């Protein structure tokens, strides 16, 4: 197993050969910018994750063939028509293709629906492993999707973090690797945002430490209202969400329930929106209805209505 110092040396070489040149740290000279809307409905978005059973894509392993399907190109129009929400938050695994023609068609379809892509959700990659080859692969993946985000007009990519094979994730290594990815994002004016999801690799307090250590405005957080609730409990989750909003820029995920190991945890939406407001968050709230049963359309519509109530 490599030591931390050996990892740093070999990771530099691995990252440099992984593709494009590794940009230098920006030292705060450049920050992401977007004119966020202020009208409550215009601040809402819908993520494609709850609709995964319906979306046709070679990479979508959760497609349910017993249900009618749609291509991601049709998602923005569906969201605009069914929920009157003008923004979407698609997943990388829901793209039918990454070829230029498809990306152009996707962007055109979103524009035709008078919608916007406000974040692009990426798959899980390991940015805290001692093996430099693992870091190199993660860096190549992240930079490829940053390029795609720039093409389709997304201001950010949400990078999921995997658990390292050697131990719990380490702040130093994660900061080094994700700092490099944020440097690349800055060159494309695409922020890299980290969501509190996996209770180990994406612990909200760990994410905050990584972001603070990196100190790059293009590495930010994505607060999820409920993902940390099963592991932390209500009081600790409140503090976790508050901590995440202190490092957030453009995106938060809204859900009213979380299911974990057969248990259902209820999210206090009024409290979560109050925390977001108290921390001065001006970005988007993306609906991510989560249930193993029930109607995804009805569940999403309810989240939209509740969100509008607390934003008004």
pLDDT confidence of residue 167:
74
pLDDT confidence of residue 88:
99
The three-point CA angle 187-137-190 to 5° equals 25
B/e letters for 171-192, b = 16+ CB within 10 Å, e = fewer, are: bebbbbbbbbbbbbbbbbbbbb
If you average pLDDT over residues 135-153, what whole number do you get?
97
Higher pLDDT, 225 or 134: 225
pLDDT confidence of residue 265:
96
If you average pLDDT over residues 183-207, what whole number do you get?
98
Q: Which of 30-34, 233-237, 266-270, 273-277 has the lowest mean pLDDT?
A: 30-34
In CATH, the number for domain 4-16+41-311 is: 3.20.20.150
Q: pLDDT for 58-91, tens place per residue? A: 999 999 999 999 999 999 999 999 999 999 999 9
Q: Domain extents for the chain?
A: 4-16+41-311
pLDDT confidence of residue 6:
47
């Amino acid at each position: 197993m490599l030591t931390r110092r050996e990892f740093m040396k070999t990771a530099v070489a691995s990252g440099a050969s992984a593709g494009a040149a590794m940009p230098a740290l920006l030292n705060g000279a450049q920050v992401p910018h977007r004119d966020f809307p202020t009208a409550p409905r215009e601040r809402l978005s819908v993520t494609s994750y709850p609709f995964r059973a319906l979306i046709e894509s070679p990479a979508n392993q959760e497609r349910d063939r017993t249900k009618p399907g749609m291509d991601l190109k049709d998602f923005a129009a569906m969201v605009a028509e069914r929920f009157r929400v003008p923004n979407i938050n698609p997943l990388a695994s829901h793209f039918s293709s990454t070829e230029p023609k498809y990306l152009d068609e996707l962007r055109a379809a979103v524009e035709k629906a008078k919608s916007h892509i406000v974040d692009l959700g990426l798959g899980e990659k390991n940015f805290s492993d001692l093996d430099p080859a693992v870091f190199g692969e993660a860096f190549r993946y992240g930079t490829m999707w940053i390029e795609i985000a720039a093409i389709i007009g997304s201001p950010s990519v949400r990078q999921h973090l995997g658990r390292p094979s050697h131990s719990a994730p380490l702040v130093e290594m994660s900061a080094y690797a994700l700092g490099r990815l944020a440097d690349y994002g800055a060159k494309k004016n695409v922020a890299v945002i980290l969501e509190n999801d996996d209770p180990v690799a994406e612990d909200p307090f760990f994410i905050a430490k990584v972001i603070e250590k990196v100190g790059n405005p293009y590495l930010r957080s994505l607060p999820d209202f409920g993902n940390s609730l099963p592991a932390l409990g209500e009081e600790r989750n409140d503090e976790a969400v508050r901590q995440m909003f202190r490092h957030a820029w453009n995106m938060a995920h809204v859900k009213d329930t979380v299911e974990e190991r057969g248990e259902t945890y209820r999210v206090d939406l009024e409290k979560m929106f109050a925390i977001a407001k108290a921390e001065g968050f001006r970005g988007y709230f993306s609906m991510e209805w989560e249930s193993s049963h029930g109607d995804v359309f009805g569940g999403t519509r309810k989240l939209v209505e509740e969100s509008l109530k607390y934003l008004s």
